[in-house]
């Protein structure tokens, strides 16, 4: 059948998110990374009421820090998943939006019926808050042309912020407004790492990490994990919650390592959004809530512009006007995001989980009234790999 | 470009496999090598076994060593040595005159004086026998 000009899978093979689960966060010394995967999975299965043995597809990006040891086949064995479809796509934080795209495609094509997606990380409890590479490392591959210079992860993002300020006059105050708004939502999340309100002045007076980014322009470091159960709309009718529809997905990268970024003020989000809005026929104004990767304030600003919610160069004034804060027209990161709530290394799965919570009407104090359509955008690497999805309540399909 | 000895080297070490090795060996000889495709004209860095535009085999081109700062940051928080002891230090993306970009540390200038567009030139620092990496400094106004 055709929906707004785009062929969709037959109704009985349309993929929905039927179950969501979060493991203990933000500080969980009692859990290994693997135990985060497990706890999140158990909670997601409990959330939807699906028996574990029905899972016949699995997506896992590992933790990004163990090499292959917690990759998809290792975790499929640990969790006891007999898969007909397996995806180990790793693009850093945006891996999970790629997983949603692949789960939809696999289910639609009949490769499997029910896909489990899991993530787990004990980054904070295991390694503390210092996340950069060891200085004595011998480096192979492309990173060897960057690693000797001691650029911290924040430094890559700082260079993008610097260039955006140069080209468009974006200010530190405008970047800070992003952190302030997300912190307001964190205050509504009892599990968020930091919940006390902050002001623009607080952000600007927090210590500089890599100019022009201050400490409060950077995400928190936590433990945490998540799980999604994706199945057919038909199957979901017999589960505990009405499935949240995945209307469109897209993923692309403009580069991987930071020195290869073609335009420091733009990302692959632009092409992803064009593709998704073309597929669905929706307009930006149809989106009720945003969950955007917020590793740093500049990440959010570039995504807002790239996704087309404001013009290029207008992201600063846009956020300063409060559109993305509680009560604004485009509430952003309603769980407190990576900037204030949780960031265990890769947080793309949390974007989907929080979007589903909003679309179910289960977000409590943080609920966006009548939220029916959500856009999630993951960013991985160094503003490199972007993957996105538009999620919606069933009635949006019509 | 000028070549200095950077040893003993306490920073991450480029492994130098394949085309990377050719680049670092060139640096140790005072040559800043980038790639130039004889088939389609694409210039590229970092060096690879193929032209990313047309897929064929590129040639090496000795660059002038001159460029300008495209963007940069001043690193103020870093726990790893020897970088921690060098704070604040400047890392920049340099637009080479030849049309490619490189990441590198910018020395010889107060971090507060660095601006986008600053003219810079490369110099090489040896990290192991026969291999060096490029660093950058403001163009010497008197030269």
Task: Name the least confident of A132-141, A170-179, A358-367.
Answer: A132-141
Query: pTM for the complete prediction?
Result: 0.96
**Test the B interface: residue of A140, A151, A158 with most B CBs within 10 Å:** A151
Q: pLDDT tens digits for A46-102? A: 999 999 999 999 999 987 666 777 899 999 999 999 999 999 999 999 999 999 999
Region A218-227: mean pLDDT is 97
Q: What contacts A227, CB < 8 A, 6 or more positions away?
A: A19, A20, A21, A37, A40, A41, A43, A44, A116, A117, A118, A119, A349
Q: pLDDT tens digits for A276-327? A: 999 999 999 999 999 999 999 999 999 999 999 999 999 999 999 999 999 9
Q: 């567009």: which residue's tokens?
A: B117
Is residue A26 reached through a cis peptide bond, with omega within 30 degrees of 0 on the bond before it?
yes
Residue A37 tokens read as 């995967």
Question: Cβ of B14 and A148 within 8 Å?
Answer: yes
- Using a CB-CB cut-off of 8 Å, the residues of chain A touching B89 are 150
Residue A100 tokens read as 């949603």
- Using a CB-CB cut-off of 8 Å, the residues of chain A touching B23 are 145
Q: What percent of chain A has pLDDT over 70?
A: 94
In the three-class reduction of DSSP (H, G, I as helix; E, B as strand; rest coil), residue A168 is classed as helix
C-alpha to C-alpha distance for A313 and A310, rounded to whole angstroms: 8
In the prediction, which pLDDT does A2 show?
41
Look at chain A and count its residues.
398
Q: Would you tell me the crossing angle of helices A297-306 and A153-168 to the nearest 10 degrees?
A: 50
Q: pLDDT tens digits for B88-117? A: 999 999 999 999 999 999 999 999 999 999
- Using a CB-CB cut-off of 8 Å, the residues of chain B touching A140 are 15, 17
Question: Cβ of B103 and A149 within 8 Å?
Answer: yes
Output helix, strand, coil percentages for chain B, rounded to the nearest 5.
Answer: 10, 40, 45
Question: Cβ of B82 and A135 within 8 Å?
Answer: yes
**Test the B interface: residue of A129, A137, A142, A150 with most B CBs within 10 Å:** A150
Q: What percent of chain A has pLDDT over 90?
A: 90
Of A136, A139, A150, Cβ closest to residue B15: A139
- Using a CB-CB cut-off of 8 Å, the residues of chain A touching B77 are 152, 154, 207-210, 215
In the three-class reduction of DSSP (H, G, I as helix; E, B as strand; rest coil), residue A320 is classed as helix
In the three-class reduction of DSSP (H, G, I as helix; E, B as strand; rest coil), residue A186 is classed as helix
In the prediction, which pLDDT does A127 show?
85
**Contact between residue A312 and residue A167 where contact means Cβ atoms under 8 Å apart:** no
C-alpha to C-alpha distance for B95 and B116, rounded to whole angstroms: 10
- Using a CB-CB cut-off of 8 Å, the residues of chain A touching B103 are 145-146, 149, 151, 258-259
Q: pLDDT tens digits for B2-15? A: 999 999 999 999 99
Question: Cβ of A144 and B20 within 8 Å?
Answer: yes
Of A133, A158, A212, Cβ closest to residue B12: A133
The CA-to-CA distance between both ends of chain B, in Å, stands at 13
Compute the Cα dihedral for A347, A348, A351, A356 and give only its sign: negative
Of B77, B91, B103, Cβ closest to residue A209: B77
- Chain A nearest-CA residue for B107: A149
Helices (H), ranges, chain A: 33-48, 72-79, 95-108, 123-127, 153-168, 172-186, 200-205, 233-236, 269-280, 297-306, 315-320, 348-360, 394-397
Neighbouring C-alpha atoms within 13 Å toward the C-beta of B53 = 12
- Residue A209 vs residues A153, B81, B88: alpha-carbon distances, Å: 10, 16, 10
Residue B13, min C-alpha distance to chain A (Å) = 5
- Using a CB-CB cut-off of 8 Å, the residues of chain B touching A210 are 73-77
Interface ipTM > 0.90:
yes
Q: Is the pLDDT of residue A383 over 50?
A: yes
Question: Cβ of B75 and A155 within 8 Å?
Answer: yes
Helices (runs of H) and strands (runs of E) counted in chain A: 13, 14
In the prediction, which pLDDT does B142 show?
53
Q: Is the pLDDT of residue A3 over 50?
A: no
Residue A6 tokens read as 């785009």
- Using a CB-CB cut-off of 8 Å, the residues of chain B touching A154 are 77
Of A148, A207, A208, Cβ closest to residue B11: A148
Question: Cβ of A132 and B102 within 8 Å?
Answer: no
Mean pLDDT of all residues belonging to chain B: 96
**Contact between residue B62 and residue B33 where contact means Cβ atoms under 8 Å apart:** yes
Question: Cβ of B71 and A160 within 8 Å?
Answer: yes
Residue A119 confidence class, pLDDT cut points 50, 70, 90? very high
In the prediction, which pLDDT does A255 show?
98
Of A148, A152, A260, Cβ closest to residue B75: A152
Interchain CB contacts (distance < 8 Å): A and B: 124
| Chain B residues with a Cβ under 8 Å from any Cβ in chain A | 10-17, 20, 23, 45-46, 70-83, 86, 89, 91-93, 101-105, 111, 116, 127, 133
Question: Cβ of A258 and B74 within 8 Å?
Answer: no
Question: Cβ of B103 and A210 within 8 Å?
Answer: no
Region A136-150: mean pLDDT is 93
């Amino acid at each position: 059948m055709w929906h707004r000009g785009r062929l969709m899978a037959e109704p009985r093979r349309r993929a929905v998110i039927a179950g969501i689960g979060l493991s203990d966060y933000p500080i969980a010394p009692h859990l290994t990374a693997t135990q985060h995967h497990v706890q999140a999975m158990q909670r997601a299965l409990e959330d939807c009421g699906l028996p574990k043995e029905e899972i016949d597809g699995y997506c896992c990006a590992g933790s990004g820090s163990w090499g292959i040891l917690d990759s998809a086949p290792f975790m499929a064995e640990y969790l006891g998943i007999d898969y007909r479809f397996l995806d180990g796509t790793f693009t850093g934080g945006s891996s999970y939006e790629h997983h949603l795209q692949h789960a939809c495609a696999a289910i639609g094509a009949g490769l499997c019926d029910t896909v489990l997606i899991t993530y787990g990380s004990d980054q904070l409890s295991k390694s503390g808050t210092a996340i950069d590479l060891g200085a004595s490392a011998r480096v192979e591959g492309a990173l060897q042309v960057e690693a000797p210079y001691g650029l911290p992860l924040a430094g890559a993002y700082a260079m993008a912020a610097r260039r955006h300020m140069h080209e468009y006059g974006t200010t530190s105050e405008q970047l800070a407004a992003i952190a302030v708004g997300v912190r307001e939502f964190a205050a509504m999340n009892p599990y968020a790492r930091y919940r006390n309100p902050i002001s623009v002045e607080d952000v600007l007076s927090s210590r500089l990490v890599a100019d022009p980014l201050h400490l409060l322009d950077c995400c928190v470091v936590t433990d945490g994990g998540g799980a999604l159960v994706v199945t057919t709309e038909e199957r979901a009718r017999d589960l505990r919650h009405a499935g949240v529809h995945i209307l469109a997905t897209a993923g692309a990268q403009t580069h991987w390592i930071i020195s290869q970024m073609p335009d420091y003020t733009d990302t692959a989000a632009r092409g992803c959004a064009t593709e998704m809005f073309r597929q669905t026929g929706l307009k930006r104004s149809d989106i009720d809530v945003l969950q955007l990767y917020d590793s740093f304030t500049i990440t959010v600003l570039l995504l807002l512009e790239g996704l087309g919610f404001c013009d290029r160069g207008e992201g600063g004034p846009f956020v300063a006007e409060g559109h993305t804060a509680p009560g604004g027209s485009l509430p952003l990161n309603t769980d407190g995001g990576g900037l204030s709530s949780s960031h265990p290394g890769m947080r793309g799965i949390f974007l989907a989980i929080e979007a589903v919570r909003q679309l179910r009407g289960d977000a409590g104090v943080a609920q966006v009234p009548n939220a029916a359509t959500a856009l999630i955008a993951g960013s991985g690497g160094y503003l490199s790999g972007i993957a996105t999805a538009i999620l919606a309540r069933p009635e949006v399909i019509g | 470009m000028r070549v200095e000895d950077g040893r003993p080297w306490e920073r991450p070490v480029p492994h130098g496999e394949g085309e990377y090795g050719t680049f670092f060996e060139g640096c140790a000889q005072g040559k800043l090598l980038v790639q130039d495709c004889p088939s389609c004209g694409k210039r590229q860095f970092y060096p690879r076994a193929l032209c990313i535009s047309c897929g064929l085999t590129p040639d090496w081109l000795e660059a002038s060593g001159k460029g300008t700062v495209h963007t940069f940051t001043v690193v103020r928080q870093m726990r790893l040595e020897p970088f921690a002891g060098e704070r604040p230090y400047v890392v920049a993306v340099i637009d080479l005159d030849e049309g490619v970009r490189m990441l590198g540390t910018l020395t010889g200038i107060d971090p507060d004086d660095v601006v986008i567009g600053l003219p810079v030139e490369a110099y090489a620092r040896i990290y192991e026998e026969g291999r060096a990496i490029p660093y950058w400094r403001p163009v010497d106004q008197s030269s």
